Amino acid sequence: MRPLYLRGGGSALLIDLSGEVPAVIHWGRDLGDASGFADASVNPVPHSFYDAPVVTELVPQASSGWRGRPALLGHRPDGTGFSPRFRTVASSQDGGDALIRLRSADESLELEVTLSMSPRGMLRMRHELINTSDLAFHLDGLNVVLPVGAAATEVVDLTGRWCREQHPQRQELRQGTWLREYRHGRTGHDSSVLTMVGTEAFSNRRGEVWATHFGYSGNRASYVEKTAAAPAMIGTGQLFSPGELELAPGASYRTPWLYAAHSTQGIDGLSEVFHDWIRARPTHPRSARPVVLNTWEAVYFDHDLETLRELARAAARLGVERFVLDDGWFRGRRSDLAGLGDWTVDERVWPGGLDPLIDEVVGQGMQFGLWVEPEMVNVDSEVIREHSDWISGPGDRLPTGWRHQQVIDLVNPDAWQHVYSQIDTLLSRYRISYLKWDQNRDLVEEGHRGAASSHRQMEASYRLFDALKRAHPDVEIESCSSGGARVDLGILERTDRVWASDCNDALERQTIQRWTQALLPPELVGTHVGPPLSHTTARTHSLSFRAITAMFGHFGIEWDIRALDQDQSAELAAAIALYQRHRGLLHSGVSVHADLSDDAYAMQGVVAVDRAEALYSFVCLRSARDELPGRIGFPGLDPRKRYRVAVVFPTVGMPFEQRNTVPWTVESVVGSGAFLGEVGLPMPILLPENGILLHVTEVAEV
């Protein structure tokens, strides 16, 4: 068979099909003419080894001599069939799309490998296993695996917890397995949006890097593995509960997509590949991302119509475009102890329904949004008093509570239909443009009628999203999961943005947003200005720092803005107007991050695709090592163009700690892209936990 050679965006994947199994010869830089590779791809055979060379398989299996983690784990009911011997039977390629079909030697299993390379270099891959036997097959795991280049020496992934999601950790790539298992029933607060392997000290703008993301929102395992006889491998697959997935004769299982990218320009190069592909999806939001006000940190559970009307009027005066009523509107919901699952408006709090508030919101020119948590229930709810068997779990007891919540068993068709009908009725009855769809607990003992059901529960949740989207295609949905515990490309096939964290502390958000946006473009990440005193950390930050931090995302507010004084109102209105003026740039351009010697500072920006304009923030996260920040370069500019650089926010009360004024921060400055990018400008001395926003525009030659 002819080799498969997928190319795009300066990257390439080369697969040799001349042998019995598909062998990956190369994934990395585009090779141009790759002819003649076959004779140069036969490995030597060391002593104390198999009698024939072992190749780097696209689908690693013990039957071919692979001694690492196999792609497929499973067996027949009697324990046989534990080590299938897959061999290639067919392949095809049409431009950037390819299909490889493998069959086990006893013809009892078939495996289809689907690959796709976008013009900008996004590689997608998934497997489909078909049971062609007349016996069942117990599937324990099916991993999607890719080898990385020999130059890779370090691994960076991300971890975290509630209110501290997506923090990087780095380690040396050594022989062995670096395994991350996520058993949350959702993506998880400690989930890594990217697993990155690269050359020594790879950074924002430097180094060769390979990265993967698994587009799935449930239990899964990701790993990087290096054996003595093979290149390092990145692998990911779903984690099934014991005995959960059995393929009946003729049945099949298809993995979620593995998304993979390669970059020779550091992590920013990876992000550009992911952002470009995500933005090209047919379902990607096309309208301008409206300024949001969410009521949670303004009123919490204290829902009062007149208070909320005042909040809506205050929001409209500032320029808010979407008003979201958070938790507390439905029957029995005066705290988090009760009411989940009863998705009907509480007539005691809302005797006229939600119409009076919606009339106010829409009358002020804003969209109306509503908070829901359809996958969860409180035991203290009407639905569970009537249907106690609708709680997902082992069957003989309740799973451990989490925020007084349990999981509703969506595998049960009656429970699924009940939830669908209630949310569908709300969306049909009221002028709701947006759902903040929350999910506030881990799902650690999912079961349907006593049998493990984590995979089926996730599939049922996906069906719920899909059915409501089909019925109400104009309603946008946010994926919130006690903050950033469900951020992945599986959920984003069904939603229009994610909530990166329940923490609105601007200092924490600097890190959370930077790494969430390593995968996602800014317009998909909710970024809100919280109150001066942070709800989750008790830190106090200036309004300008909070607004600058929120600027690089889908901008919003979560604060009781009724009590703002004149200066605060003016500053927040100016920030909103700045976001509205520049959101076209922020939500279409290339995200860039400078490599700085002192990590007390951070410089990030978005550069227009034609590099005629850019918006940057320069912030000080804590007390710096040196007395002066020094000259800081502006990454991503065209070295052949000339630009004007001006500070555009804050406009008053500069957060400087210096005895003089740096002239360009007042009067602007003009320089070449080469000078601004390589030499940079002398930055002002910022007070810790403060920043400035810089607008860079191309100027015509004189």
Surface-to-core class of residue 1, CB atoms within 10 Å of its CB (0-12 exposed, 13-18 middle, 19+ buried): middle
- Where does residue 667 rank: exposed (0-12), middle (13-18), buried (19+ CB within 10 A)? exposed
Residue 203 in tokens: 């950074």
Ordered DSSP codes for 440-484: -S---S-EETTEE-HHHHHHHHHHHHHHHHHH-TT-EEEE-BTTB
User: What domains appear along the chain, each with residue ranges and CATH number?
Assistant: 4-279 (2.70.98.60), 321-483 (3.20.20.70), 591-698 (2.60.40.1180)
Residue 536 one-letter amino acid: T
**Cα-based distances in Å from 697 to 544, 615, 651, 671:** 22, 9, 18, 11
Helix (H, G, I), strand (E, B) or coil at 254: strand
Q: Quickly count: other Cβ atoms within 10 Å of residue 700's Cβ.
A: 5
Structure confidence at residue 519 (pLDDT): 98
Closest to 643 (Cα-Cα) out of 607, 618, 617: 607
Q: Diameter of the chain by CA atoms?
A: 83
Compute the average pLDDT of residues 244-263.
Answer: 98
- Structure-token match 């055979």, residue found: 45
pTM score of the predicted model:
0.97
Q: Which helix (H) or strand (E) holds 210?
A: strand 209-214
Task: Over range 647-653, report the average pLDDT.
Answer: 93
Phi/psi region, residue 188 (left: phi>0; alpha: psi -120 to 50; beta: rest), is left
| Residue 582 scores a pLDDT above 60 | yes
Predicted pLDDT of residue 457? 98
The yes-or-no verdict on residue 57 having pLDDT over 80 is: yes
Residue 36 pLDDT greater than 80, yes or no: no
C-alpha 180/C-alpha 195 separation (Å) is: 10
pLDDT score, position 51: 87
Q: What is the CA radius of gyration of the chain?
A: 27
Confidence of residue 288 (pLDDT cuts 50, 70, 90): very high
- Positions marked active-site: 438, 502
Q: What is the DSSP letter of 106?
A: T
Rounded Cα–Cα distance for residues 247 and 478 (Å)? 34
Q: Mapping DSSP to helix (H, G, I), strand (E, B) and coil, where does residue 406 land? A: strand
Choose the weakest-confidence range: 10-24, 32-46, 70-84, 326-340.
32-46
Supply 391's token pair. Answer: 């709680």
The CA distances from residue 677 to 598, 665, 684, in Å, are: 18, 17, 17
In tens, the pLDDT along 477-497 reads 999 999 999 999 999 999 999
CB atoms inside a 10 Å sphere around CB 464: 19
What pLDDT is attached to residue 35?
A: 80
Token pair listed for 76: 């027949």
- For 3, phi and psi rounded to 5 degrees? -65, 160
**pLDDT at residue 702 tops 70:** no
The pLDDT of residue 579: 98
Provide the token pair at 276.
Answer: 């470009």
Cβ(22)–Cβ(59) below 8 Å: yes
Whether residue 521 has pLDDT greater than 90? yes
**Token digits of residue 502:** 């329940």
Q: Is the pLDDT of residue 239 over 80?
A: yes
Q: Average of pLDDT values for 231-259?
A: 96
- Provide the angle, in degrees to the nearest 10, between the axes of the packed helices 355-363 and 305-318: 20
Angle at 338 between CA 403 and CA 325, to 5 degrees: 85
Instruction: Quickly tell me which residue has 């002239």 as its tokens.
Output: 663
Residue 102 host element (H or E)? strand 97-104
Q: What is the DSSP string of 659-690?
A: SS--THHHH-EEEEHHHHHHT-EE---BPSSE
Q: Two tokens at 693?
A: 């926003």
- Asked whether residue 38 carries a pLDDT value surpassing 70, the answer given is no
Cβ-in-10-Å burial (0-12, 13-18, 19+) of 701 comes to exposed
d(CA 276, CA 589): 9
Residue 700 has pLDDT above 90, yes or no: no
State the chain's mean pLDDT as an integer.
96
